[in-house]
Amino acid sequence: MVILCGIKNCDSVKKARNWLEGRGINYQFHDFRSDGLQRERVQQWNRAVGWETLLNRRGTSWRQLPQQTRDDIDESSALALMLENPTLIKRPVLELNDGSVHVGFNAEHYAALFPTK
């Protein structure tokens, strides 16, 4: 089962959902806010793509962190922060049947992941 993770009101998540639905691709949506976020899932994403890819340094949540926290960020503190505040995760996170994980939405990248038959 393809799983799309994110926050339902995020523009990038909306684009990804519209893209998948427009091509008839079945997926399950996992909302960080309403469905929660498990440590194991974040650790799996970290193993697949790395914490630097997962961490959204462009959003408001990042800018609201104390400067010292941002300056001292490392893998351990980043994962803890993402679990505490899932809006620090770059969205959407796409989990495919083959176990691969893809972060962010790009139509060309999704088209390569889901070639038309």
* Residue 31, strand partner residues: 6
74-113 pLDDT per residue, tens: 999 999 999 999 999 999 999 999 999 999 999 999 999 9
Between the CA of residue 26 and those of 18, 40, 101, 114, what are the distances in Å? 12, 24, 17, 11
Each domain of the chain, given as residue ranges in start order, spans: 3-113
Tell me the angle at which helices 75-84 and 39-49 cross, rounded to the nearest 10 degrees: 140
Domain 3-113: which CATH number of 3.40.630.30, 3.40.50.2000, 3.20.19.10, 3.40.30.10: 3.40.30.10
Q: In the predicted model, is pLDDT for residue 117 greater than 60?
A: no
37-60 pLDDT per residue, tens: 999 999 999 999 999 999 999 999
- What is the set of active-site residues? 10
Q: Which two tokens stand for residue 12?
A: 């990038």
For residue 23, give the DSSP letter: T
